[in-house]
Amino acid sequence: MKFTLAWLKEHLDTQASINEIVDRLTMIGLEVERVEDKAQELGAFIIARVISAEPHPNADRLRVCMVDTGTGAPVQVVCGAPNARAGMKGVFAPPGTHIPGTGLDLEVGTIRGVESRGMLCSPRELKLSEDHEGIIELSADAPVGKKFADLIGLDDPVIEINLTPNRPDCAGVHGIARDLAAAGLGTFKNPPIDPVKGTFPCPVKVNLEFGATPSLCLGFALRLVRGVRNSPSPEWLQRRLVAIGLRPINALVDITNFVTYDRSRPLHVFDAAKVRGDLVVRRARVGESLLALDGRTYALDATMCVIADERGIESLAGIMGGEATGCSESTTDVLIESALWDPANIAETGRKLGIHSDARYRFERGVDPAFMVPGLELATKLVLQLCGGTPSEITVAGDARFEQKRIEFPASELERLAGLNADPQEVRRVLGSLGFSVAGQDPKLEIAVPSWRSDIEGKADIVEEIVRILG
């Protein structure tokens, strides 16, 4: 799980340093694997403009580019990227630069008889993502000669934690901030998510059809937004995704990725114009397959949960959407889905097909059932802000009501199980900060478990929560 310091501070009001945050995360059981300072790592890379891009005299797939790096004298670069062209702006590495994606130091070289005095870089060469289809393209107003790291805000450190399977709530920045606030490192920001009023009924219905077999979908919420403008995401959103290794695609898709990492709430968007009729959530049938958004075709079986329309399967539920109904910059009407899937089934399907997606990672651990509709409201708000449009009412299939667990907790359990003699008011503060509700008086308390903590089963788990925060 990756996030940036600035992103964390959107959910946590704190003056703590990066070192204090890292130390406290590890102390409360969220082990920090690494902290990346990309501003330092990418300090030598600068913004450049391609003056010309001519065919290489000895290689059909190469171009000889003259590049303006802001120093006054054009630099010759041999480039094999298909999108290299005159007038574009990209990222230039001068000789001597360490290329993070290759682990090598760049030297002046001769490529098929033509000298090359630098490199125009792809996202993978900068370890920003796995994208190696072409060189990075920057906006027309990017300042030539300035540091690339400054342009995209890479002065914001990236923290990566090794998340244990029992903490799906911390697969979102919001949950990590809650834990840090409980540990005394700031004030948790938790404003309510106001519902977005729909102006017409959602015209697409959802049916859960599992017959006599166990249901693989506990709840499914859907909303249509008409008249959106699906352009590239704004700079702040692109920066955030790039910092954690994701490739910006378009505003609608980027919003779903943002909410996935921000609130541990995976979503999916369908181009409504490409959906035929209503949606059915069911098991796949023998012989069915799906061309997914990763460009691969997957053969499915009856153990797998899918979302289908009149044409056939459009999404592998909770794991990956289909190419046929994917959103592009021509999308004008979008269906936003927020659902609850069976964690064990998601894990089994992911293993069978070898798909490792951000959605699978969260659904197989268990997402917050009470956040299914609020997560859709949050996504709707962002869509309206970034893309415009008119929202429908939300339609919900299934029963996603959350039955809150309550645990009787004798105060003596803390000392008996952990040898910790803590002030009762401090115990209440810690549990309240973590989202637990505490009723009753010593010596016996009744503790209500928050919806996002499916891992809490009994008294020993309550003791563990108190101990990891208070030490």
pLDDT at 109: 94
pLDDT surpasses 80 at 346: yes
Q: Do 372 and 339 form a contact (C-beta atoms < 8 A)?
A: yes
- CATH number 2.40.50.140 is the correct assignment for the domain at 41-151: yes
From the number of C-beta atoms within 10 Å of its C-beta (0-12, 13-18, 19+), residue 453 rates as buried
Of 45, 142, 9, 124, nearest to 87 by C-alpha is: 142
Instruction: Tell me if 371 sits within 8 A of 172, measured CB to CB.
Output: no
241: which 2 tokens? Answer: 């995704």
Q: Which helix (H) or strand (E) holds 133?
A: none
Looking at residue 401, what is its pLDDT? 80
Tens of pLDDT, residues 280-303: 999 999 999 999 999 999 999 999
pLDDT tens-digit readout, 244-271 = 988 889 999 999 999 999 999 999 999 9
pLDDT for 49 equals 98
Domain 2-37+157-188: top CATH class? alpha beta
CA distance 152 to 218: 40
If you count DSSP H runs as helices and E runs as strands, how many of each does the chain have, helices first? 13, 29
Tokens representing 215? Answer: 């249901």
CA nearest to 357, candidates 390, 410, 317, 407: 317
Measured distance CA(213)–CA(344) in Å, rounded: 15
Listed residue (29, 39, 33) closest to 6, CA to CA: 39
With cut-offs at 50, 70 and 90, classify the pLDDT of residue 420.
confident
Please state, rounded to an integer, the average pLDDT across all residues of the chain: 95
Residue extents of the structural domains in the chain: 2-37+157-188, 41-151, 206-398, 406-470
What pLDDT was estimated at residue 37?
Answer: 82
CB 4 within 8 A of CB 156: yes
User: Considering the chain, what percentage of its residues have pLDDT values greater than 90?
Assistant: 86
Spatial distance between the Cα atoms of 49 and 46, rounded to a whole number of angstroms? 10
Segment 321-349 mean pLDDT: 98
pLDDT of residue 139: 86
Q: Answer yes or no: is pLDDT of 155 > 80.
A: no
Regarding predicted confidence, which is higher, 345 or 139? Answer: 345
Are the CB atoms for 328 and 221 separated by under 8 Å? no
CATH topology of domain 206-398: Phenylalanyl-tRNA Synthetase; Chain B, domain 3 (3.50.40)
Exposed / middle / buried, residue 212 (Cβ in 10 Å: 0-12, 13-18, 19+): exposed
Contacts of 94 (CB under 8 A, 6+ apart): 44, 46, 69, 75, 106, 117, 118
At residue 40 the predicted structure's pLDDT band, cuts being 50, 70 and 90, is confident
Residue-level pLDDT at 237:
93
pLDDT of 305 > 90? The answer is yes
- Give 61-98 pLDDT, tens digit per residue: 999 999 999 999 999 999 999 999 999 999 999 999 99
Nearest to 184 by CA among 18, 15, 422, 29: 15
The pTM score is: 0.82
Cα distances (angstroms) measured from residue 382 to each of 115, 153, 253, 255, 335: 48, 21, 11, 7, 14
Query: Average pLDDT for residues 125-147, to the nearest whole number?
Result: 89
376, 420 contact by CB (below 8 A): no
136, with CB counted inside 10 A (0-12, 13-18, 19+), is: buried
Structure tokens at 339: 């659902």
pLDDT at 444 over 90: no
Same-fold call for 2-37+157-188 versus 406-470: yes
Domain 406-470 sits in CATH 3.30.56.10: yes
